[in-house]
Amino acid sequence: MIKVMVDADLILEAFLNRESFVADAEEAVELLQSHGIEGYISEIGFKSLRDKEI
């Protein structure tokens, strides 16, 4: 299993469905959901997502 550090902005792009980044974000999310890769996010990244005002 490949382990990767996932950038908080990538997760944000997937949720916000921003046109310029959506294809890459969707591909990463699909890999994570299919268990093709094992993703991790740092505590700072998690806090950034939690504190982001959308």
3-state secondary structure of 39: strand
Global pTM exceeds 0.85: no
Task: Spell 24-49 as b/e; 16+ CB within 10 A means b.
Answer: ebeebbeebeeeeeebebeeebeebe
Q: Report the 10 Å Cβ neighbour count for 13.
A: 21
Percent of the chain beyond pLDDT 90?
A: 22
Entry field: residues in the chain? 54
- According to the model, what pLDDT value does residue 43 have? 92
pLDDT over 80 at 48, yes or no:
yes
Helices (H), 1-54: 8-16, 22-33, 43-51
- According to the model, what pLDDT value does residue 5 have? 93
pLDDT over 80 at 49, yes or no:
yes
